[in-house]
Amino acid sequence: MASSQPPHDTAQHTILSPGPARPQARAARVVVIHGEGLGQRVVVEAAPVLVGRSQEADLVIAHKSVSREHCRIWRDDSGYRVRDLGATNTTRVNDRRIDGEAGLADGDQLTVGESILKFISEDSVEASYHEQIYQLATHDALTELYNRRHFIEAADKEIARALRQPLPLALCIVDVDLFKPVNDRHGHLSGDEVLRQIAAVLRRHARAGDIAARIGGEEFALLLPGCALEAASTFADRLREAVAATAFAPGGEPQRITVSIGIAALGPGRQDRAALMAAADAALYRAKHAGRNQVCVQE
């Protein structure tokens, strides 16, 4: 039976699939699986990794049973290795004291003081699982920036590094202006979307090596290693302008939303995280009371 539909002059095109996505290359890592520092991890790449109690270590385990410089892990042509650095409680691999240094294989356990670390090679299927756990533990679920806990740990390490070298370091605390009325008028889902948009602006402006985090309900922090006060002020003002220029529409209603920013730099009287954050908070307080949508610097 002949078709009643008119013939179609169609050309068929073959669309070539790029195939399944290739997994990204993974570096080996060491994960704390028991004791102080549970859940922390450090990636072992080209540079050697220092494990110890000192804030200058790459993996800090702040427990009295751990020496300031406990052990070092690195990779050479033969694979991954660990060296004990004369720790009071000698480093162990699979519960055996190491004589100077030893090789590391996937799944090996390192005893460092009273903590146990697990070595996971780059080829291990477990690496992906631990990376997911790490992301959940260190990132804010709403904004995907670092969370407050990770920010505190990272800030302590960066401050120690800046004081040791020495290098400039600045901190910006960013607070959303008049955020409560947004939640009250449009609901928390709309407020969450505003926070996600602001986090995206922060992420775009942060340099490689900067640490951006959500540290409170509508409060964010940006730690700027290697950045002096004047440069931090210029950076913060660009960030403020970018937020003010962003199109927000909570509840479907276009609305201009701004942020206030307080800045402080590492220096005399501000050589730890608590003092640095207190100074940036004081500058933020002045920005709020000066009319909001401003950047203030704590000299």
Helix/strand/coil percentages in the chain, nearest 5: 30, 25, 40
Dihedral sign, CA of 69, 75, 78, 79?
positive
Residue with tokens 């407050």: 148
The phi-psi region of residue 86 (left if phi > 0; otherwise alpha if psi is between -120 and 50; otherwise beta) is left
Task: Find tokens 């290697």 and name the residue.
Answer: 226
Active-site pick, 218, 219, 241, 299: 218
Residues 244 and 252: their CA atoms lie apart, in Å, by 18
Secondary structure element (H or E) that encloses residue 101, with its range: strand 101-104
Q: Which residues pair with 73 in a beta bridge?
A: 49, 82
- Determine the number of helices (DSSP H) and then strands (DSSP E) in the chain: 6, 16
Q: For residue 288, which amino acid is it? A: K
- CB neighbour list of residue 2: distance below 8 Å, 6 or more residues apart: none
Q: Are 299 and 280 in contact (CB under 8 A)?
A: no
218 as an active site residue: the answer is yes
Provide the 3-class DSSP secondary structure of residue 242. helix
Among all residues, which ones are annotated catalytic?
Answer: 218
